[in-house]
């Protein structure tokens, strides 16, 4: 796996897009701080830039670099959650502007819980974009074999871990709304 992580990180550092197994479904990603790379993700997915994308980090420490205000309730959720959970935070910093929701300046961020993504993000040293490996409006592929040719041919680098041992379910999404936590997707 060392060579695969090294090659993936090299692609990310070069501003390229990747197809990779996340801790949920197969995803398309790039450097979450690189606006040009993010534009390529939107173009590949045929998705409007006004729709924000999820970002992955490797730890609470990395999350704190990009989010200043993490409520205590959220810290408790992050510490106790056993399944992938994306939290929508307000006012991120240091992230590409075209990932942030323009209406309310929010972004969804998940701390990954699988070995490959943790190692890749740790070695890269920055957060990465994570969006399902499909054209907008089409079903999320449940396995590598279901990923469309347009996605496979459209990314710059395909991570050679063509395993179907990942989840077929997207992450839970929670949104911080003042003191409340709202469930967006279970």
pLDDT one-digit tens code per residue, 123-133? 999 999 999 99
Whose CA is closest to 92, among 117, 59, 70, 123? 70
pTM: 0.91
* pLDDT tens by residue, 129-171: 999 999 999 998 888 889 999 999 999 999 987 654 555 567 8
Strand partners, 175: 88, 182
Higher-pLDDT residue of 94 and 69 is 94
In this model, does residue 18 exceed pLDDT 80? Answer: yes
In percent, the amount of the chain with pLDDT more than 90 equals: 62
* pLDDT tens by residue, 33-59: 999 999 999 999 998 877 778 999 999
Residue 1: pLDDT band by 50, 70, 90 thresholds?
low
Most confident by average pLDDT, 5-14, 81-90, 172-181: 5-14
CB 159 within 8 A of CB 147: no
Measured CA angle at 111 (ends 143, 100), to 5 deg: 90
Across residues 60-66, what is the average pLDDT?
A: 96
CB 174 within 8 A of CB 27: no
Q: Give residue 182's pLDDT.
A: 84
Q: Give residue 95's pLDDT.
A: 96
Helix (H) or strand (E) holding 99: none
CB 71 within 8 A of CB 165: no
What's the residue count for the chain?
Answer: 186
- What residue ranges do the domains of the chain occupy? 2-185
Q: List the 106-111 sheet strands across, edge first.
A: 157-158, 18-21, 26-29, 128-132, 54-57, 106-111, 85-90, 172-177, 180-185
Domain 2-185: give its CATH code: 3.90.870.10
């Amino acid at each position: 796996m060392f060579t695969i992580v090294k090659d993936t990180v090299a692609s990310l550092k070069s501003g390229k897009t990747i197809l990779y197994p996340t801790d949920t479904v197969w995803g398309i990603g790039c450097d979450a701080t690189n606006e040009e790379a993010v534009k390529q993700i939107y173009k590949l997915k045929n998705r409007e830039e006004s729709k924000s994308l999820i970002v992955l980090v490797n730890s609470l420490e990395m999350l704190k670099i990009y989010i200043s205000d993490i409520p205590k309730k959220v810290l408790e959720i992050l510490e106790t959650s056993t399944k992938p959970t994306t939290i929508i935070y307000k006012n991120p910093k240091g992230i590409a502007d075209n990932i942030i929701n323009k209406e309310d300046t929010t972004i969804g961020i998940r701390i990954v819980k699988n070995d490959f993504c943790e190692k890749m993000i740790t070695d890269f040293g920055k957060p990465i974009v994570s969006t399902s490996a499909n054209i907008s409006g089409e079903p999320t592929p449940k396995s590598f074999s279901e990923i469309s040719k347009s996605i496979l041919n459209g990314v710059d680098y395909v991570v050679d871990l063509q395993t179907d041992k990942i989840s077929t379910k997207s992450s839970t999404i929670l949104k911080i709304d003042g003191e409340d936590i709202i469930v967006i997707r279970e």
